[in-house]
Structure 1
């Protein structure tokens, strides 16, 4: 892929846009929080529409900009949990190879499976959360949880009257924080990827053929082994337990999304589809434990669907797969 001035300019502008979105949380408002959720979107659009190198330029520009604006741990979190996953996801989405290399027909490209991309996103985000946790330190994280527990005690006198329950709550929250954080970032990144694919496709800039997400959003079979090992490690004390919890949360979120995708696929054309989808998502928002049902469903389907396209004059953004 030949890099042009337009590609560089788009990458720089996308990186600056992502940096501006990332500081929305400083406003401490609902709108600011929502803006932060869309931080990876400009990087995805730049990479998918103008090439992976443009996406890396956008990620690098965001990295520089956030350090200039706010050289703190928040900037490191933005880079590790927003910029790096976005650039990584766009890279794999742009990978393709001639089908003839794997025994397929000539003049056809086979694109990197969405399932494999999802697994790599889960692992990249898990690594980012682990690094952030190491930088924060267990003492600071415990102090943060203690502060939250103190506020809960002030609003609930019965909880304050029982310090043993309060300490148990602190330990539970410390265990759940890496799981919740990694799962939330995985879902956010995948949602941004989906929106970016739709935008670039509508603009005619996307070379990858459209994936059938309800059938393609799965995790590959190796994810089962990774998830099992991570769940076992989550019961260990100290750093190994933190690492296991983080990876389990990220990969578990991937399996949960696969479960929801299965519901979308199997309810196609059914009269009960709107009610089923509404009921499933409402239950997931109100009762978090219902996500386990979709996680278990995702465990039973580890298919890998790869889209294909006719080879044209243009080559894929990445054809070194």
Structure 2
């Protein structure tokens, strides 16, 4: 109990280093930044919520200190923006999800049933929406201004990649107007960010839990994730509300669009879980899983929407309960 705060401080330092990895300019640094919340989740799972909270706060403090040095050279930047953005979008959601994942286990003082994996996935979607919304509004005071600023940054980045000057108009290529394409892409990119945040939060929680299980410090029995990750029926109602709210103008409608995309990320994960369960006991299971994941990587614009639809169908018809492997052979935990 006395070691939880020092361990949390060390985990927060590791999380801040991972978050700053893209400054190296390499693609590997960007990959490491995706795992920036992993130390916070591990600290929460293995040493308790106090260690996880200390990790989240210390990571934000380190990022604020680093950003303060940048702000001294660039008066337009705020040293608190980077820290707050990381805290809301990565650190605090990771801490909250990890705490909810183990709350109710191993503590007699907690007289409540633990959250189901499906409910935890919906919570991850809501946190993913909130974190993405905050990060986007950091680009501007309104969604319209944020979109305009994002579009400008994308165009400048494209000009640099093409070797053009900062003020030079972008020439059309193969009959496609790059500026029109970037305008459409900037609108699509933001909901995709909410979907990816939900998926990465759940993936990070799974990876951290596996590491905690191997180390013997996971304070709950390991569940059959593929079979037990079932989004509750009321998630369909929340999805319908998000669809309706997304049609409203202004920030409220923008938040509805992000929530809709984040919830679709949760249904995407459920689609993968259903595929894992429905193929159990089959001789072609390794091939089916390999083809499914390869299609989602190389033909994502086709395979991902289909997997989301499959996750929605699973909620309606409970395909895993009807057609899943009903043999008495216990499956390997996933």
Q: Quick check: TM above 0.5?
A: yes
The aligned residue for residue 75 of structure 2 is none
What SS does structure 2 have at the residue aligned with 1:111? coil
Is the aligned partner of 1:79 residue 2:87?
yes
Distance across 2 between alignment mates of 1:28 and 1:153: 18
TM (norm. structure 2) is 0.79
For the structure 1 residues 242 and 174, does the alpha-carbon distance in structure 2 shift closer, same or farther, using more than 3 Å as the test? Answer: farther
Q: Greater CA deviation, 25-34 or 67-76?
A: 67-76
Map 1:146-161 onto structure 2 (within 5 A).
146-148=155-157, 150=159, 158-159=172-173
Does the aligned pair in 1 maintain the 2:116–2:229 contact within 8 Å? no
In 2 relative to 1, CA 220–149 (structure 1 residues): closer, same or farther, beyond 3 Å? Answer: farther
**Which residue of 1 is the match for residue 6 of structure 2?**
9
- Match runs of 1:165-314 below 5 Å: 165-289=177-301, 290-302=303-315
| DSSP 3-state at the match of 1:96 | coil
SS at match of 1:274: helix
User: Match for residue 119 of structure 1?
Assistant: 122
Q: Measure, in 1, the Cα distance between the counterparts of 2:158 and 2:31.
A: 26
Match status 1:130 vs 2:139:
no
CA RMSD for the aligned pairs? 2.6
Aligned pairs, how many? 290
- Hey, what's the Cα distance between the residues in 2 that align with 1:247 and 1:271? 39
Name which structure has the greater RCO, CA cutoff 8 Å, separation 6+. 1
SS of residue paired to 2:205: helix
Question: Which structure 2 segments of 5+ residues have no match?
Answer: 68-78, 141-145, 165-169, 319-334
User: Are the equivalent residues in 1 in contact too, given 2:245–2:253 (CA < 8 A)?
Assistant: yes
- List runs of 5+ in structure 1 lacking aligned partners: 101-107, 304-321
TM-score by length of structure 1 reads: 0.82
User: Conserved in 2, the CA contact under 8 Å of 1:154 and 1:160?
Assistant: no
Deviation string, structure 1 residues 126-150 (Cα, Å, up to 9, x no partner): 1111112112122312312333565
Deviations 1:139-174 (A, max 9, x none): 312312333565688799544866xx4454233223
Query: Is the 8 Å Cα contact of residues 61 and 83 (structure 2) preserved in structure 1?
Result: no
